[in-house]
A and B are shown apart, each in its own frame.
Chain A
Amino acid sequence: MSTPDYGESPWRAAWIRFRRDPVAVGFLALFMAYFGVAVLAQLVELWDGAPFLYELNLSDMGMDVPETATAPELSHPLRWLGTTSAGKSVILRVFHGTKVAFVVGSCGAGLSVIIGLTLGLVGGWFGRTIDEIIVYIYSTVASVPYLLLMLALAFVVRQGPIAAYYRSFAFSEFVSLGLFNIVVVIGLTSWVTLCRLIRAEVKKVRELEYVHAARALGLSDTRILFKHVLPNVFHLVIINFSLTFVTAIKSEVILTFLGVGVDREPSWGQMISDARSELMQGVWWPLAASGIALFVLTLSVNYVGDALRDALDPRLK
């Protein structure tokens, strides 16, 4: 990627390389299907309003279902994955969990990428004192034990000034504080790797002839950064986004299990941590449903991420 190819768009070339692997394309399709479910879940909720479908007991919907856990059965789509101990449809909760996973994954990874990319670009491009400061910041953040950083931040976000700030936003209607919390925690703890990579790459790009040339032509720094440098490091961003996406939805499970994650709506993490007491009763389907949903999504993102890396980085063949 270090030498720009002006003959053919590098993205197009990458896409052609990516397409060669049918499994990767399959997983990409699967990922899109998940995305569709997430969007659909959000749309239904927007359109239907509170109380949301996932909150209702099936008996409230006029179905003859006891208000206890019932095993999966085929009689009605809402019972395909069974019901929870409160008699609510597991399938609806899994669907809502998909939406939560996408919010957590894309916002968390997005925030992390924004921080990492900005600092990396700025540090790598401007060098000197600014760079020193940025290197100092990330070495310090990386040195704080991860468990402490994650948990302490989770508590801070929950009730500190950040939570108050969150409430003033319009989106607080759609994104619960628990979700927002995870997004911020993920964003603030996982940007270091990308920042390091980008900074190193930008330093290299900076010394390339065409960048020197662009400078000589009197182009502004911002213009050079966005027009010439950014495209050269963008593959790192994409790969890192996919990695952080996975980390984020897996961290959601852990944080929710620890009680500092999603709390007002169903999420996969919640279903998995509830299984702690459900399993002993032989109620395995909420765990199975959420666990498999999580597994397939992470698997497809992991695989697509790998395939993308191979496609974008011709050295690795």
Chain B
Amino acid sequence: MIQFLTRRLLYSIPVLLGVAFISLYLFHVAGGDPVAMKLGKAPDPAEVEALRLELGLHDSFFIQYISFLRQFLSLDFGTSWADDTPVRDIFIRGLMPTLSLSLPAFVLGSMISVTVSLVVAFYRGSLIDKAVTAMAIAGISVSSLIYILLGQWVLADRWKLFPIWGYEYGPGAVFFVALPVLIWITLSVGTDVRYFRTVVLEEISRDYVRTARAKGLSEARVLFGHVLSNSAIPIITRLTIAIPFLVTGSFLLEIFFGIPGLGSTLYTAIQNSDLPVVKAFTMLGAVLYVAFNILADLLYAWFDPRIRLS
């Protein structure tokens, strides 16, 4: 166990190094000149040079890479090039809005999809099963942009059920995130139900279920007693792996509904070539991804004693 953890943690070091390399390299090639953004439309050439020097843009790729790693280790990514705010503050500012959107969406969405897939598995082959599977496959075939555009237009503008746009820090957020959460759930339930249904069905087709049935246990007991606890493993794994993505949230929903969260912040930063912010977000995303993947493996072993970590 400890050996497994050490090995995985050690392995994550080169992975993070690689992520740092990729993100820095992409912006080296793609990024515009942030100096232009800072100095306006008629910059003094000498000043441009001075600022480039100050921002370290003249350094070779290798030196920039090293300083990037140093920043990562000290967890201090400096201040944003776009507005001089410390990256840490930007992160704190955006975390609440993002989580207030993504957490309810994730929790409610997972609850709904697990329940629905169990019910569907119970009625497998019946009309309900077919109807739900058809709805799920139809649901995932619609572009997310259409959900957003129509949701905003119909539910908020035509029917006035939700605010069109905006956000309120604190409990007032409920009103504002309600519609984006609804859209998020609509977007995710289809995929999840399809996946969970397969998992549950696979479990149902196993021998022990037949044995349990033969012993005369009720279908519900079999389903919720045996099947659920065994299909919990892949379900939990899938949900664990999804958690890191909650932090970056959905930038499309954030942009369209005016939620000042991390997703829209990252999107703006990429557009503005705001490298400190982009670097911090990349590394945060990568660390979370790696960490939760390890966690998922641990959980897997925890729930399923047949699997030995090595």
Which of A148, A155, A250: most chain B Cβ within 10 A? A148
Contact A250 B281 (CB under 8 A): no
Residues of A within 8 A of B270 (CB): 147-148, 151-152, 155
8 Å CB contacts to A: which residues of B147-175? 149, 153
Is there an interface contact between A152 and B19, defined as CB atoms closer than 8 Å? no
Partner of B30, one of A147, A155, A294: A155
Closest to A160 in B: B29
A153 to B23, CA, bound (A): 10
Q: Which of A181-208 contact B (CB under 8 A)?
A: none
Contact partner, A153, options B26, B140, B201, Cβ 8 Å: B26
Contact with B along A268-282 (1 / 0, CB 8 A): 000011011001000
Q: Could you say which residues of chain B place their CB within 8 Å of the CB of A246? A: 141
Of the candidates A152, A159, A298, A316, the one whose C-beta lies within 8 Å of that of B198 is A316
**Which of B29, B142, B149, B282 interacts with A295 by CB under 8 Å?**
B142
Instruction: Find B138's partner among A156, A160, A287, A299 (CB 8 Å cutoff).
Output: A299
Instruction: Assess whether A257 is interfacial by the CB under 8 Å rule.
Output: yes
How many residues of chain A get a CB closer than 8 Å to chain B's CBs? 42
Contact B30 A159 (CB under 8 A): yes
* Contact status of A143 and B16, CB under 8 A, knowing A152-B270, A156-B30, A302-B137: yes
A155 and B31 CA atoms in complex are apart in Å by 8
User: Is B43 in contact with chain A by the CB < 8 A criterion?
Assistant: no
Contact present for B23 and A144 (CB under 8 Å): yes
Number of A-B contacts (CB under 8 A): 114
Contact between chains at A145 and B144 (CB < 8 Å): no
A149 to chain B, nearest CB (A): 8
Which B residues lie within 8 Å of A253 (CB)?
143-145
> What chain B residues lie within 8 Å of A230 (beta carbons)?
none
A246 to B201, CA, bound (A): 25
Contact yes or no, A291 B142, CB < 8 A: yes
The answer to whether B179 has its CB under 8 Å from any CB of chain A is no
In the assembled complex, which residues on chain A have CB atoms less than 8 Å from the CB atom of B286? 143-145
Q: Are A298 and B141 in contact (CB under 8 A)?
A: yes
Cα of A302 to Cα of B30 in the assembled complex, Å: 34
* Most chain B beta carbons < 10 A, residue from A143, A153, A302: A143
Q: Tally chain B residues at the interface, Cβ within 8 Å.
A: 42
Q: Does A254 reach chain B (CB closer than 8 Å)?
A: yes
Q: How far is the CB of B154 from chain A (nearest CB, A)?
A: 10
Instruction: Find out whether the CB atom of A142 lies under 8 angstroms from the CB atom of B289.
Output: yes
Q: Which residues of A contact B263 (CB under 8 A)?
A: 147
Instruction: Tell me the complex Cα distance, A296–B138, Å.
Output: 9
Find the B residue at minimum CB distance from A145. Answer: B285
Looking at A32-40, A120-128, A133-141, A165-173, the stretch in contact with chain B turns out to be A133-141
CB pair A302–B140 under 8 Å, yes or no, is: yes
What residues on B are CB-neighbors of A152 within 8 Å? 23, 26-27, 30, 270
Interface positions, chain B 113-161, Cβ under 8 Å from A, are 137-138, 140-146, 149, 153
Query: Closest CB-CB distance, B211 to chain A, in whole Å?
Result: 20
Interface membership of B252, Cβ < 8 A: yes
A121 to B64, CA, bound (A): 36
Chain B residues whose CB sits within 8 angstroms of the CB of A151 once the complex forms: 267, 270
Closest Cβ–Cβ distance, residue A9 to chain B (whole Å)? 26
Interface 0/1 of A284-301, CB less than 8 Å to B: 000100010011101100
Q: Closest A residue to B266 by CB, please name it.
A: A147
Residues on A with C-beta less than 8 A from B285 are 143-145, 148
- A299 contacts B141, C-beta separation under 8 Å: yes
Q: Please, how many angstroms separate the alpha-carbon atoms of A139 and B18 in the complex? A: 9
Name 22 interchain pairs, CB-CB below 8 A, sorted by A: A136-B18, A140-B22, A144-B22, A147-B266, A147-B270, A148-B278, A148-B282, A152-B26, A152-B30, A152-B270, A155-B30, A156-B26, A159-B30, A253-B144, A257-B145, A287-B146, A287-B149, A291-B142, A298-B141, A299-B137, A299-B138, A302-B137
Which A residues lie at the B interface, using CB under 8 A? Answer: 136-137, 139-149, 151-153, 155-156, 159-161, 246, 250, 253-254, 257, 272-273, 275-276, 279, 287, 291, 294-296, 298-299, 302-303, 306, 316
